[in-house]
A and B are shown apart, each in its own frame.
Chain A
């Protein structure tokens, strides 16, 4: 595993959708033709003791270290990008069998009109050259980050720790 990874902090997300649109712009998504977005923004409401809480979540491929989809793909369409460790799909090799969709625990794979799988590739063609993924670049609140996973977790933990401060 290389050092950098996409992280999401629900505590900072306000559900503004900037990441979703930046992703569509980076990847030239043809929404008019019904092409699926790679990044989804979702909202969940709860009421506890009369207090309403709305949680926003921005999700795309997790690029798992032990990626189930990679093992499941029979055609070699999924591969690990050597430069970034992103899990990327070569659509020209995809046979549209949906094995990856059954294997993925997170509901990430989507299928285009040609039947091939498409999903977030962590902007490996940008990160290779020192640029952040488009969704991270645009995020106004810093909810999305591309960083060393342990550094990202340390930051999150420090904020949690601070919540105990009196």
Chain B
């Protein structure tokens, strides 16, 4: 091999090899990561992917998903042209049509539906990716519909709500400066793995670690105290932490006195949850609870690293996380270096150290003049705290037409398997008059659309991203779009004009929109275009500490609310009117905490603990037939929902759907590692391979989700929801396992 041949084999960039490195970002998992991509391009085609060394978050590394970006871009499943459905919905029979034909037809149909049924009968939905959401919300409101919704109806929003109710806005763990961190159901090895280097550095420097998780994750093995709790009992554990911290006088008395609401009621609540009582509920030892609570309360500063969904994927999820977040106020670790800090987002949910007009760009202020959003009546706390409609209520409203009929869905990335009772969800969606899906791939959900529009990947489009350390990047397309695909924002921009919405800014395209949003920052598109690899934001600075000192917290009382004003108002319950609120009596097996006074069930102003609606404790009769706790949604490192299932490289690492089972449960059911088994619930059954593992608690089954041939989310009822957030109780229900005869490809639904 001569030198050039060798360099070509090595994919070494240079003029001789004709290989050029172009900068982009990975948006496969998103946001909060968006790692820098070095795309090695030869003759207009990506031939290799690496991480961008200068990217301040990812430092030149990637995870297994991002490493497979080339197969993501060039998947044979990419939609190459706009498509019009010719067969039955779901049949996958389409004919290619031109962009003009597709967009004109969409504009004509949507305007006709608006004229006949009102703009609110059209839903505007965003799944993944999340980058175009501000544009879609603006587009929906331009159209006149309040029904902008996203997959965040089962993702981060409920976690954010729990923080809003408690201290007004999210406050992220400041790992870099902390002395003690509680990873409360966060598994950095499977998600956000690129944070591991900095986590490891802090641990090596002596930072104490507490981990709360039903599974023995990698980080749990490095913890000073690991609390392997029964799924859905986070609230009881957090109240017991409060019991120790208050009882031993370890709380921040000055902060609590000046800056909290309802401490006396909270004190009475936690007095009812001794570590011994919580130990019985959670399945951990009282001494470990004490040790963890003391470690968190006596380390200064200390932070809680939460995660988007696991804790709020319970029917008691918001209250459970509220109980956790109360600890941050109790110990005075709110908005200080090394604690949990408030850092308002700049763009796409991420702080970048600079102000923008993204929120103004969405036009959310217009919502007040529009009809109520989907889910508003059923989930009034959601409606109060979020600008989105609650997508979990879509099937009900389609079916009942109440409070008004829904007729059309325009989606950027639709995946019906994200939703509980997915099959029923898509059956209801099929009753709509008109469905558009914009997607990279002809997914199983796209097959139900009347028109499918081909979207670009992040490698083929421009998008702006920022990072908390004060870094910003407005990417350039690294390659020409695959097929006739277009950027989501281009599509919205073009369609806006054809609909006659009169939005000159959106019609002017992404550069104009970005320039408008960036106005308060002093950044310009011209400056960003000089740095396609991204740039440090001039003058970006970390947020000030203790911002509450001027202006208070963004809660109705301006304080950290142990007793939530919003829940008090909406739930209509008087706190403590009939003595201390119950904290969930495990022995009684009663799912309903008595709130002290009559109020809307589940809306207790204090973060009272209730059992998950389905647990061995709340449903002892059902548990005789379904003795195991079923958790849906644990993650594997090579998959982000279904987004990399179709890539041969990632799929080769984990080819079959499976569930984690403890060796004793597997043995009791007569199932060996790797064998096929049925996971059965009252709602259905799936057949998957058993992964027999000590990582899982005895008594729990963790079923990996989104598999077409074994859809975990069809094992739940569509109404199995947290009454505050409308979030599905994915992480705790009941099941049994049994050996299955099925071999190989035959695994399927009942």
Contact = CB atoms under 8 A, between A and B. Distances in A.
Given A125-B6, A137-B51, A31 B216 contact: no
A140 B694 contact: no
B652 interface: yes
B9 A25 contact: no
A125 B637 CA distance: 29
A102 to B, nearest CB: 26
A16 B652 CA distance: 14
Interface stretch (A104-112, A127-135, A146-154): A127-135
Interface in A116-142: 123-126, 128-129, 131, 134, 137-142
Nearest to A133: B10
Interface stretch (B144-152, B192-200, B241-249, B480-488): B192-200
Contacts of A54: 216, 218, 221, 694-695
Contact of B50 (A29, A134, A162): A134
Nearest to B221: A53
B12 A22 contact: no
Contact of B637 (A12, A16, A45): A16
B651 interface: yes
Contacts of B190: 16
Given A126-B12, A128-B6, A131-B12, A21 B200 contact: no
A46 to B, nearest CB: 8
Nearest to A126: B10
Contacts of B49: 22, 25
Interface string A25-59: 11001111000010001000111000111101000
B9 A125 contact: yes
A16 B189 CA distance: 7
A18 interface: yes
A60 interface: no
Contact of B652 (A31, A124, A129, A131): A31
B61 interface: yes
Contacts of B87: none
Interface residues of B, number: 43
Contacts of A24: 68, 649, 652
A20 B10 contact: no
A96 interface: no
B7 A129 contact: yes
A148 to B, nearest CB: 20
Given A22-B62, A128-B10, A140 B67 contact: no
A25 B9 CA distance: 12
A14 B68 contact: no
A45 B49 CA distance: 32
Interface residues of A, number: 42
B60 interface: yes
Interface string A59-88: 000000000000000000000000000000
B10 A140 contact: no
Contacts of A134: 48, 50
Contacts of A142: 197
Contacts of B60: 137-138
A140 B65 CA distance: 13
Given A18-B63, A53-B221, A126-B12, A25 B70 contact: yes
A54 B693 CA distance: 10
B637 A17 contact: yes
B640 interface: no
Interface in B365-380: none
B638 interface: yes
A12 B193 CA distance: 12
A51 B288 CA distance: 14
Nearest to A24: B649
Most chain B Cβ neighbours within 10 Å, of A17, A123, A128: A17
Contacts of B196: 14, 140-141
B525 to A, nearest CB: 31
Nearest to A130: B12
B188 to A, nearest CB: 8
B62 A18 contact: yes
Contact of B68 (A25, A26, A45, A56): A25
Nearest to A14: B189
Given A14-B193, A45-B693, A21 B64 contact: yes
Given A22-B67, A138-B67, A129 B48 contact: no
A26 B10 CA distance: 8
Contacts of A21: 64, 67-68, 638, 649-650, 653
Contact of B12 (A37, A45, A129, A139): A129
A52 B695 contact: yes
Given A21-B650, A25-B49, A16 B6 contact: no
A110 to B, nearest CB: 13
Contact of A25 (B63, B67, B188, B218): B67
A138 B50 contact: yes
Contact of A37 (B6, B58, B68, B652): B652
B10 A17 contact: no
B11 interface: yes
Given A14-B193, A24-B649, A128-B6, 17 more contacts: A14-B189, A15-B189, A15-B637, A16-B189, A16-B193, A17-B650, A18-B66, A18-B193, A22-B49, A22-B50, A45-B693, A45-B695, A125-B7, A125-B12, A129-B10, A138-B50, A162-B204
14 contacts: A17-B64, A17-B650, A18-B62, A26-B11, A46-B694, A51-B221, A126-B11, A131-B10, A138-B51, A138-B61, A138-B67, A139-B61, A140-B62, A142-B197
Smallest CB-CB A-B distances: 5 pairs = A125-B10, A21-B67, A31-B648, A17-B64, A14-B189
